[in-house]
Every structure is written in structure tokens, then in C-alpha cells.
Structure 1
């Protein structure tokens, strides 16, 4: 078991009535339990808390009038990392995949797996199938991309990253997801807090479905997966943004921590 303190401070200048969905809270899963948890808003306005889907994703909904909005989230999390022999983890044939994981084989906004099938097969088609093949994908991405803050934007996709060979954590995850899906390995995007990440920020990992369950990977190799506290899950980062804003508001400050 690992005990981790996580949190974030966010500040916005709100210039008209604006609705926010904040996906910043630690999810409730079998691998992580939440102890003390607080959300503080200044000004002190009403907020709703609700859970999305079956993955324990917790979301805050807030409606703010024009103001300088400050949000602080804090939680104590106990992690129970899985232990497994990676040599024994195999890929699941398509005909045996559970119905609920099939959508994670499809192309999505940032993960154009249909455009990368030939490339993925050429590089990774002859590698023994299983955990080692996903690890090889991560190794290739880590060796062939340069991590550079600010190098990509909201429209940057896996194909863009493959051409430009530069990106940030979400780009590394998107390319890994697209390559996995192109090889008929279900894969999905995971957002969260990462212990040991420098500089601290919300981090993008991904999961691949192997054998009969999901396994966590990080192609950036910037933080250990054993210290990752998950927040959101989706087909790609579009489904797991830390903030969705309907209205007019500008982010002025942000700090994130996990320790």
C-alpha cells in the first residue's frame, strides 16, 4: 500500500455566467481508496458532485457568475498496486474480447488507428504478442519522440505526433493508444496525478487490455505507474479533460501536486 497526498489549485477569470465540469477528483476503484477529500471554492458557490459511468469517475459541476474564481482540491489516497508476472500476460483474440472493451479498438478524435495499421504492423507485427509487445511500443515511442512542453495543441493527433516526433504526455499516450488499436489491442486514455512527476502536472497515461483485464503503461517514462492516481478514463484526452467550460472564463493560475 502507498499513501499519497494529491491536489490542485485552479484560478479563473469569469466574465459571464459560465458552467464548469471539473474532472480533477481521484476515482473510486479497487486499486485506490479515498480518505479525507475536500473541495473549496472562493467565492463560496454551490457545486454538484456526481459519478460518471462504472469506473468510479467523480465530476464536479459548478455555475459561476462573473468573478475571480479560485478552486482548491485535496485528497488522501491509498494505492494498492497490482503485482503480476508480465511474461505470463498474453493478448486476447478479437473473438474473445468482452463487449465492453470493443469500443476501445475504434479510431477516435486523437487516435487515428485506422491510418496507422500498416505502420504498426511493419514495426510491431512480428513481436511476440502480449505485455512485451505493448512495452515495445512504449520503448519505441520513448526513443523516437522528444518531450517538449508547449509543442502541441488541442488539435494535435497521434498522426501529427508521429510526423513531428515531438509532444507532451497526452501525445505520447495518444500515439501508443493508436498503435495498440491498430494491432487489435484495446487501449484507452487515463488522466491523473503522478507521484514523482517533474514538473508536477496532470499526467496522461494509457491502459491496454491484455488477457482478461486492463494494464497501465506510461510511454513518457517520467513517473512510475505504481504511483499513479487515476482521475478520468476515455477513448482519448477529449473524454478526460480536467475542465470543460461552457461560457467565458480564462485560466489564470494552475498548480498540481502528488506527494
Structure 2
């Protein structure tokens, strides 16, 4: 499957602002960037650094006045591997070094507070089947309501409220998986089927030697999602991090399937 991506970020800045962007689709691991273009305007310094786990790149900018960034890309996605529901869990003492940090609590995912609930509600299941039960439980009990959470909302808040947006669904999914001793991380993606279309947050779980995408909102499918970056939770995968106050002017994200003639 090929998807076309178009993103516009327009922000008013102060006189001097440090910014970190994560908006470009990563190349590799089930996806290939066929073409891309990024226009950040003529002013300011730009530096590229590797994204977390070597997935994608982070862009450092030092700007003043205005940021108007336009990114476009064509990405081919090929994720025809096994369904995560059939995959076995990896015993904690056999989890590889790169996945170990995702067994532990993080800022927005206090997984230790979910141990009793996970054991009581999902204890009879194992591996991918347990992840599937968790995903289905979240989708069936939560309501997708924009504007009901903010930058301080964590998995425990969302679990109590039973509502939120994609990042809140992903935080709960990650916290439940980690409480079951299954490594889980957050991924920022461009995905078909997201409504309203925007940067989309999903969970990824480590099972049977590989990472698998899991979207508790039910909107995105792995074969229609282009990964941008990954991290412990939303703090690591934000599309824009500003180290001083900035003002939103306009933001647009478009993701469409390209059907070959």
C-alpha cells in the first residue's frame, strides 16, 4: 500500500525559540519512503539527530518570528507479517536490551498501579491474546472525545475518565501491557482512517522477537500506518516541542491512499 502525506505547521514564535520537530516518516521496518520534501523556510539553524531506537530523525531548529513548515511524502507500506494475536510473550529475563526500558513505568504510563487490575481482568490470557483482550476492552469502554485531556493527562486519569483522544488510548494500552510484563512503547504515525486526521498515537508491543502495532482507538491499521518515531510515551514522540511559548496559527495533516493506475 502507498500513502501520500501532506503536513503544514504554522506557528508564531518569540524572538528566539528552540524547537524540536518529529514530522518526517521513518524509513525502514515495514515502510519505505519513496519520495519526500521538507520546507522549513529560509531562516535559522537546522540540525538532524537520530530518533529514539534509531527510528526516524529529530530536527532541531532555532527560530524567531514565525515557523511555517511544510512536509510531503509518498510512503510504501508492507506489513504482511503474522498477526500479533498469535504471538507469544517473551519472558522478562529474555527481553533484549533495547526493549527493557519499555517494561518500566514512564511519565504518562504508571504501569505499576495497574498490576492488580490486569491480573484480575486479563490474567487467564497470555501473550498476543492478552494484548488483544486489552485492546478490545479499551475500545469498547472508552469514548473518543477531543478536548477532554491535556498535556498533563496520564494513563491513570484516562482510565478513570474512560475518555480521551488517541494519545490517551495509547497511554492506557501501554500501561496495561507493561503491567502484564510485556514491553510496550508509543509510536507517532501517519495513518489512513484517522478522524479527524492528525498526527496519530498508537501503542507498539514487543512479542516473540518483534514489535507490533496496536491501535486501541480502532481507527488505524498497521498496513495503512507510516511510523514517524517511537518513545516511552507522549513526552518522547511529540511532533513539536518548543522550549519557549509559541502560538498556533494553522495546522493541517492529510493522509491519502495512492492507488496505482
TM-score scaled to structure 1, two decimals? 0.94
Residue 109 of structure 1 is matched in structure 2 by: 107
Cα drift, residue 167 of structure 1: 0.7
Contact 2:52 2:229 in 1 (8 A): no
Q: Show the 5 A alignment for 1:107-186.
A: 107-127=105-125, 129-186=126-183
Local SS of the residue matching 2:137: helix
2:98 maps to 1:100: yes
Contact 2:10 2:66 in 1 (8 A): yes
Residue 38 of structure 1 is matched in structure 2 by: 37
Distance in 2 separating the partners of 1:50 and 1:34? 18
Contact 1:27 1:55 in 2 (8 A): no
Cα drift, residue 183 of structure 1: 0.7
| Alignment gaps of 5+ in structure 2 | 257-261
Cα drift, residue 44 of structure 1: 4.7
Cα drift, residue 43 of structure 1: 5.0
Distance in 1 separating the partners of 2:149 and 2:245? 23
Cα drift, residue 85 of structure 1: 4.8
**Cα distance change, pair 120–38 in 1 and its aligned pair in 2 (3 A):** same
Give CA-to-partner distance per residue, 1:65-94, whole Å, 9 cap, x none.
Answer: 2x2321101111111113215564111112
**Cα distance change, pair 161–54 in 1 and its aligned pair in 2 (3 A):** closer
Distance in 1 separating the partners of 2:106 and 2:84? 28
Distance in 1 separating the partners of 2:61 and 2:131? 39
CA RMSD, aligned part only? 1.5
Contact 1:190 1:233 in 2 (8 A): yes
Contact 1:16 1:247 in 2 (8 A): no
Contact 1:26 1:57 in 2 (8 A): yes
Cα drift, residue 56 of structure 1: 2.7
Contact 2:84 2:212 in 1 (8 A): no
Cα drift, residue 28 of structure 1: 1.9
Local SS of the residue matching 1:154: coil
**Cα distance change, pair 96–68 in 1 and its aligned pair in 2 (3 A):** closer
Residue 6 of structure 1 is matched in structure 2 by: 5
Cα drift, residue 226 of structure 1: 1.4
2:190 maps to 1:193: yes
More displaced 10-residue stretch of structure 1: 139-148 or 79-88: 79-88
Which of 235, 240, 253 is the matching residue for 1:238? 235
Distance in 1 separating the partners of 2:70 and 2:129? 40
Contact 1:52 1:58 in 2 (8 A): yes
Give CA-to-partner distance per residue, 1:109-134, whole Å, 9 cap, x none.
Answer: 1101011110111111112x121110
Q: Show the 5 A alignment for 1:204-223.
A: 204-223=201-220
**Cα distance change, pair 85–243 in 1 and its aligned pair in 2 (3 A):** closer
Residue 90 of structure 1 is matched in structure 2 by: 88
| Alignment gaps of 5+ in structure 1 | none
Distance in 2 separating the partners of 1:61 and 1:138? 35
Distance in 1 separating the partners of 2:161 and 2:13? 35
Contact 2:48 2:59 in 1 (8 A): yes
Distance in 1 separating the partners of 2:227 and 2:52? 15
**Cα distance change, pair 14–85 in 1 and its aligned pair in 2 (3 A):** closer
Contact 1:43 1:70 in 2 (8 A): no
Aligned length: 256
